Structures are given as C-alpha cells and as structure tokens.
C-alpha cells in the first residue's frame, strides 16, 4: 500500500488543525491535529531525507504555523492557512517526496 506523501500530511496538518480549531471552537483540539500531523510528517522526512532535512522541514512547519497568524491579519485566515500550507507542501515535496 503506497504511503501518503509527506507534503500532503504536512499541508493537511496545517489546514486540518485550523479547521478543527475553528469549527469546534476548541483551539487545543486543533493543536492536537497540528501536532499529530507534524509528527507523522517529521517521521517521513527523517526516513526519506535524513535528520538535517527533517529538522529543517520541521522548523518550516512550525514557522508556517506561527507565520500564518500575522499573515491572516493582512489577507484573511483561510488564505493565510492555505498559503503557508502550500509553501510547506512545496518544500516537503522538493526535499523529501520528489525522489520517492
């Protein structure tokens, strides 16, 4: 059975985490989604691209989450989330998924 690409896992974690937090009105629940998807993506990054790449992509994932907040004030919440999710997905694909 083929694995889900890490780029989709990471982007799904960012979008899904925000969606869960917004629709349930429970931010910690969205944080759980964000963290679980981030951990799953990090494990795939480690396996596919090694420790340094996994560390850099994990940092990008966390920076995307943090950066989406000020960006949302300028462009709106959903566009900000989709924008940072796309950026993380592209980086993940380029570093870890492209070779798979």
φ, ψ at 59 (rounded to 5°) = -65, -40
Structure tokens at 19: 């969606």
Q: Which residues contact 11 (CB under 8 A, 6 or more apart)?
A: 85, 86, 88, 89, 92
Instruction: Write down the pTM of the prediction.
Output: 0.94
**Per-residue pLDDT, 74:** 97
Task: Write out the chain's pLDDT in tens, 100 residues.
Answer: 468 999 999 999 999 999 999 999 999 999 999 999 999 999 999 999 999 999 999 999 999 999 999 999 999 999 999 999 999 999 999 999 997 6
């Amino acid at each position: 059975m083929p694995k889900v690409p890490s780029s989709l896992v990471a982007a799904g974690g960012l979008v899904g985490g925000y969606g869960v937090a917004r629709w349930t009105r429970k931010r910690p629940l969205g944080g759980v989604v964000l963290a679980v998807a981030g951990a799953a993506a990090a494990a795939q990054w480690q396996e596919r691209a090694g420790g340094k790449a996994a560390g850099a992509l994990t940092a990008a994932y966390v920076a995307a989450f943090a950066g989406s907040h000020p960006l949302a004030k300028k462009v709106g919440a959903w566009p900000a989330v989709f924008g940072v999710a796309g950026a993380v997905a592209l980086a993940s694909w380029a570093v870890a998924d492209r070779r798979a």
